[in-house]
Structure 1
Amino acid sequence: MDYSHYPRNDVLCIDMRSFYASVEAMKLGEDPMKVMLAVVGDPNRPGSIVLAASPTLKKRYGVSNVSRYFELPNDPNIIVVPAHMVDYLRVSIEITKLLHDYAPPEAIHQYSIDEVWVTVNGLQKLFGDRREIAQKIQKDILDRFGITSSIGIGDNKFLAKVVMDLHAKKTGIAECRYEDVPEKLWPTPVQNVWGIGNRMMKNLHRMGIVTLGQIANYKLEHLQKRFGVMGEQLYWHAWGIDLSPVFGDFTKQEQKGFGHGIALLRDYNKEEIAYCILDLCEEACRRARTAGKAGRTIQLGISYSRDTAGGFSRSRSVDIPTNVTMDMYEICMKLFNEFYDGKSMIRHVNVGLTKLYDKEDADIQLDLFEDRTKKNDIGYVMDSIRAKFGSTAILRASSYTDAGITLERSKKIGGHYA
C-alpha cells in the first residue's frame, strides 16, 4: 500500500481507565489502581449491572462491565458503591478543560464520557513531539485527578483508537503509524477491532476471515459485494486508512432522529406497556419540538422477557410530518397490536421518530379534516411549563401509575441515578 497519498496527522486517543470506579475511589481516598471497587447501577437490585470495576477487581476476580451485582464474589475487601452520574460528568468536563491547555477546541473530539480524540498537529515547539505530548497529558490527568489513562497515538483517528484498545491499555502509551499496521494490527482477531460487532464477526468467520490481516488481503470488490459500503470501510480500515476529519466542530452533528428506549425493571404485560410507550413518545416528541423538527417515520421496538425471548421492531410512515405525542403514540400502539404475539411479557421498549423535516416545512402540509393547531399548541405549552418548573412539573395521568416510567427516569442521568 502506498501511503504517500493519505494524510498524516498527530492524533491521540485518550481513555480514562475504569473511569467511574476511579472517580469513586478518589472520592473515598483510595488508590484507583489498587482498591477493589465496583460501581453498581442500583445496589438495591441484585440483578443490577456492574457499570465499572477497578483494575484490581477485574484482574483478581474477572469482574467485567457486563457482570451483575449478585455475581460479585463474597469478599469483604470489595467496596460496592452506587453510580453517581453527575460526578462522572463533572470530572469528564474538567478533564476536557485540561486538554484545552494543549489543543484548540476544534482539535478535540469527545467520543464518550471517558474517551476523547485530540489532534496535536504543529505543537512540537510548545510541547515536544506527539509521544511527549501524550506523556505530559497523561501525567497531568494523573496529578490533577488521580486517574490513570491509556493513550493511543496514530496517523488518524482509527489508528489512534485501535492501538489504544489493543496495546496502550497494557503499556500506558502505544503508537501506530501506517507502516506499523501489518505488525501491530493485522494479527488481531476481528472481534477485537473497534467497529466490528458480533454480527459482522460471525459473517466474517463464515467467509474464513478471523484476523484483520485477512480482511486487508481479501479482494475489495468481494467485500463490497457482500457488505456494501461497510465492506469498503472494513478494507480500508484493515490497511489503517481513515479519512474522517480530525478538525472541526464535533459538537454539531445532523440529527437523524429522536428516540428513547428503556430496559424495564420488571416484566410488563400488554395493558401496562401502553403507559410506558406513551411516556417514551412524550419524551421523543418533546426533543423533536425543542429542535424545531417533525418526523414522518415512527418506529417501535419490543423485546420480550428472558423466559420467552424474541420481540419485534417495526416502523410506519405518516403522510404529514409530526411531533405531536398522541400522533406518535397512536401509530406505536397500532404497530404493537399488529405485531405483538399476544402473550409474552415485555422487558425492553424503544420508540423512534425519524425522516425529519424542519417544523416550518411540515406546517405547510395542512390537513383539511383536522385542526392540528390545537394538538401542536398543547405540546409546546407543556414543554414551556417543564422548561420553567422542571421536567415533572406537568405530566399525563398515566405517568403516575405503577407502569409509568417518567417519574423514575427524571431521577437519572444516562439511565442511572445522578
Structure 2
Amino acid sequence: MLAKLALDNGAKHSKDFIAEWRYEDVQEKVWGISPMTEFCGIGHRTVKRLNWLGIRSIREIAEADPYRLKREFGVMGLQLFAHSWGIDRSFLGQKKPAAKVDKSIGNSQVLPRDYTRQDQLELVLKEIVDQVASRLRSSHLKTGCVSVSVGYSKGYLDSKGRSGWSKQRKVSLSNNTKVLSEHVLQLFRSEYNYQDVRHVGVSYSKLVQTDVLQLDLFSDPVQEVNEERLDFLIDTIRKKYGFKALIHASSLMEGATAVSRASLVGGHAGGNVGLSS
C-alpha cells in the first residue's frame, strides 16, 4: 500500500517518476495527502460519510477508532484505517478482482444543425469523449467497453434503410482521454459513410472501480504515465476554475460544441457533470 501511495502521490508528480516513501514517513507524507479524494480508495461519497463522522483528513482516519469505522463502513472501514498507516493486509499472491459497477456513463447531443462533414463530427465526438472520460476519472472508474451512436437527420435513411446506427467494442480498462478517443474514432470511421447527422453519442460500460494504471507490452509506460498526469492536471484546473478555463484549441473551430454547451443554463451542463462553466 505504501508503494501504491508513493506512486500515485509522489512518483507521478516527479520528473523522473521516482519516489521513496518509508514507514517512518507515514505521518508526514501519507497523512499529508490532500484532498482526501487523492487517497487510494476514497471517493467523494466516502469523504461525505467521513465528514459526517467528523473526520476531515487522512491523519484523522489514522487516529480514529477502527471499530467505529467498521460500524460505518464495514470491512472497508478497517481497510481505510490500515491504509492510512500505509499498510495493506492482503497477500501479494492473492488476486483481488476490481469492483464491477453495473451501470454506464455517457453523453449524447442533438446537434445545432445537420452535420455533413466528417471532420466536424469527429471533433464533436472527441469533445464528448473528453467530457465523459473526466466523469469516469472523478468517480475513480475505468471502462471496458466503448459505444458510439449516430442518428441521421430527420427523414434521412441510409442504403440499409436505417435512421442511424450504434457500435461498440470491448477495450482494455481505461479512463485515458487519448486512448478512448482513438477507440471512438475507429468505431465511427468503420461505419460512417457521409450521411447527414443530427445526433451523436458516446457511452462507456463494463465499468470497474479502480485507480490502478494498467500497462501492457505494446505501450510506452512513460507515455502512459505522462498522459495520466495530463488528464489529472486538466481535471484539476477545470474543477477549480470551470470547464472553459482550459479547452482544446480544436474546440474553437467551426462545428465544435463544447464551449457553447458549457454555458447552457436551466440545469443542463451539456455533459460537463461536476464541472462548472
The TM-score with structure 1 as length reference comes to 0.37
Structural mapping, 1:269-308, within 5 Å: 269=116, 270-308=118-156
Q: Which has the higher strand share?
A: 1
Counterparts of 2:205 and 2:128, CA distance in 1: 15
Cα pair 2:102 2:206 within 8 Å, conserved: no
Is structure 2 residue 198 aligned with structure 1 residue 347? yes
Larger RCO of the pair (alpha carbons < 8 Å, separation 6+): 2
CA distance in 2, matches of 1:294, 1:331: 14
- Please, which runs of 5 or more residues in structure 2 have no aligned partner? 1-100, 158-162, 271-276
Tell me how far apart the structure 2 counterparts of residues 274 and 397 of structure 1 sit (CA, whole Å).
14
1:370 paired residue number: 220
Structure 1 residues 242-294: Cα deviation after superposition (integer angstroms, max 9, x where no partner): xxxxxxxxxxxx66121011000101121210110010000110000000111
In structure 1, list runs of 5 or more residues that go unmatched: 1-253
Aligned residues: 160
Could you say which structure has the larger radius of gyration?
1
The one-letter amino acid paired with 1:343 is Y
Match of 2:103 in 1: 256
How many angstroms does 1:402 deviate by? Answer: 2.0
Q: Distance in 1 between matches of 2:260 and 2:139?
A: 24
Equivalent-residue separation in structure 1 for 2:119 and 2:182 (angstroms): 15
Q: Which residue of 1 aligns with 2:14?
A: none
In 2: Cα distance, 1:366 partner to 1:327 partner: 12
1:351 Cα deviation from its structure 2 partner: 0.1
* Aligned-partner Cα distance in 2 for 1:307–1:345: 10
Instruction: After the TM superposition, list the runs of 4 or more consecutive aligned residues in structure 1 that deviate by more than 6 angstroms.
Output: none
Change (3 A) 1:415 1:308: farther
How far apart, CA to CA, are the structure 2 residues paired with 1:343 and 1:387?
37
Of the three residues 243, 249, 256, the one matched with 1:397 is: 249
1:394 and 1:335 mapped to 2: Cα distance?
A: 27
| Structure 2 equivalent of residue 267 of structure 1 | 114
Q: Secondary structure at the match of 1:256?
A: coil
* Partner Cα separation in structure 2 for residue 374 and residue 358 of structure 1: 21
- SS at the partner of 1:392? helix
Matched residues in 2 for 1:290 and 1:343: separation?
Answer: 35
Question: Structure 1 CA distance, aligned partners of 2:269 and 2:174?
Answer: 27
Cα deviation digits, residues 130-150 of structure 1 (max 9, x gap): xxxxxxxxxxxxxxxxxxxxx
- Kindly state the Cα deviation for residue 415 of structure 1 after the two structures are TM-superposed: 6.2
Distance 1:345 1:397 in 2: 25
Question: How far off its partner does 1:343 sit?
Answer: 2.4
Helix, strand or coil for the counterpart of 2:245?
coil
What is the TM-score normalised by the length of structure 2? Answer: 0.55
Aligned partners of 1:356, 1:376: CA distance in 2, in Å?
18
Amino acid at match of 1:259: G
1:314 — aligned with what?
167
- 2 CA distance for matches of 1:370 and 1:353? 24
Q: What is residue 331 of structure 1 aligned with on the other side?
A: 183
Matches of 1:387 and 1:338 in 2, distance apart?
A: 35
